[in-house]
Amino acid sequence: MSLFLHNTGNVIKQPPIEKIAMEVLRECGALPIAITTIGAALRNNDDAGVWEDTLRALKKCTGETEGVEKK
């Protein structure tokens, strides 16, 4: 959470953003690069629509790479 807060700024503490931000963070999993990248992209953005769009995009990601087999 602190890494995400560091990258997004205090905007994630605002009521319209707070719930969406927690879902975005959950979708990032425990991947610091994802948390940092997404957080920086949304830094100080208080538009809930942008946060919702980001969440939808993250939920569409499968985490699979074409041509790479799972072990």
Quote the DSSP letter at residue 61. -
* CB neighbour list of residue 35: distance below 8 Å, 6 or more residues apart: 3, 4, 7, 25, 28
pLDDT digits (tens, 9 = 90+) for 19-61: 999 999 999 998 999 999 999 999 999 999 999 999 999 999 8
Q: pTM here?
A: 0.84
The answer to whether residues 18 and 51 touch, using CB atoms and an 8 Å cutoff, is no
